[in-house]
Amino acid sequence: MKWIALITAALVTRAAVAQGFSNSGPSNGGSGPYLANYSTDSTLTGHTLFAPKQIPDGLKLPVLVWGEGGCQANGTMFLSLLNEIASYGIFIIASGDPGGTGQTTSKMMTDAINWVSQNAGKGKYVNVDATRIAAAGQSCGGLEAYDMKDDARISALGIFNSGQMTEAASKQIASTITKPIFFFLGGSSDIAYANGERDYKLLPTDTPSWKGNLPVGHSGTYMETDAGKFGVAAVRFLQWTLGGNVTAAEYFTGPSATTDGWSVESKNLNKIKVTSL
């Protein structure tokens, strides 16, 4: 089933390119309190790391493992989005080298999780907290994130402009997800819209879940500075699911997402922890 999904996802990406989506657009290091940038580490080849350039003493960074659109092995494909997320104090491991070529697999996400679990809290990664990890990705990268659903080290899943390619796959995969899962779709013109909608409907009835549609198509707002409204929602999603941030939670449980233009459905969000500020 995986090879079918990957081939189909490549077609999805070509359609996105036809819309004019080629990269994540401008980035100024993010709008958060910590100017962000990317780097690499020779002990984790084929990946790109995003983090604040300077990390205040005592700040612990939760972790996001990220899969690229089209499963393209370009770790800076979503530069604007990932710098935006990192600027709010989140450590990111993106599949693919900076500006890299070739194809990724979900195993690269597992490799990233294994690596950060071994290195967090030590040396130059002393501020990284591997007890709080989310998996997410766009389009084909979202399919890779689905493969992390049974990894006990993963706290939440983020599905961006993605969904299983067939009803059979949705029934097999989406119907077994118990972790909090958030869908960020581009409305009816998003080529992955029907897939994401079907996956959401097939989730177990007690799974904490949120689905938002912003009518911008498959390319989202990733080309905008700081990744636009998709960037805002992505940051809030991670601040809540990895940090329990009550203000971030209210973006989804209150009117803010709707005010930003998202059409929203949700269930069981009260099962996701919040921490009073």
Q: Are 177 and 136 in contact (CB under 8 A)?
A: no
* Rounded CA separation 234/157 (Å): 11
Q: Is the pLDDT of residue 13 over 90?
A: no
Q: Can you say whether residue 155 is alpha, beta or left, with left for phi > 0 and alpha for psi between -120 and 50 degrees?
A: alpha
Orientation of helix 246-253 relative to helix 228-243, angle to 10°: 120
Report, as an integer, the average pLDDT of 18-44.
Answer: 76
Q: Is the pLDDT of residue 230 over 90?
A: yes
pLDDT band of residue 7 (cuts 50, 70, 90) is very low
Q: Read off the pLDDT of residues 135-157 as tens digits, 9 standing for 90 and up.
A: 999 999 999 999 999 999 999 99
How many other C-beta atoms can be found within 10 angstroms of the C-beta atom of residue 185?
29
* Rounded CA separation 135/145 (Å): 5
pLDDT in the model for residue 249: 97
What is the number of residues in the chain? 277
The closest of 222, 217, 244 to 232, measured between CA atoms, is 222
pLDDT in the model for residue 203: 98
Domains along the chain with CATH numbers: 2-20+34-271 (3.40.50.1820)
State how beta strands 128-138 and 181-185 pair.
unpaired
More confident of the two residues 201 and 26: 201
More confident of the two residues 14 and 249: 249
pLDDT band of residue 21 (cuts 50, 70, 90) is very low
* Rounded CA separation 250/104 (Å): 35
pLDDT in the model for residue 92: 98
pLDDT in the model for residue 26: 58
Q: Which of 118-125's residues contact partners 24+ apart within 8 Å by CB, and which partners?
A: 119/43, 120/63, 125/91
Q: How many helices (H) and strands (E) does the chain have?
A: 9, 9
pLDDT band of residue 28 (cuts 50, 70, 90) is confident
More confident of the two residues 108 and 16: 108
Q: Read off the pLDDT of residues 61-118 as tens digits, 9 standing for 90 and up.
A: 999 999 999 999 999 999 999 999 999 999 999 999 999 999 999 999 999 999 999 9
The H-or-E segment that residue 67 falls in is strand 61-67
Report, as an integer, the average pLDDT of 183-196.
Answer: 98
Q: Can you say whether residue 126 is alpha, beta or left, with left for phi > 0 and alpha for psi between -120 and 50 degrees?
A: alpha
Contacts of 97 (CB under 8 A, 6+ apart): 40, 45, 46, 47, 48, 73, 74, 75
Report, as an integer, the average pLDDT of 243-251.
Answer: 96
The closest of 41, 117, 43, 42 to 51, measured between CA atoms, is 41
Report, as an integer, the average pLDDT of 226-250.
Answer: 97
Q: State the Cα angle at 271 between 255 and 109, rounded to 5°.
A: 95
Counting Cβ atoms within 10 Å, is residue 29 exposed (0-12), middle (13-18) or buried (19+)? Answer: middle
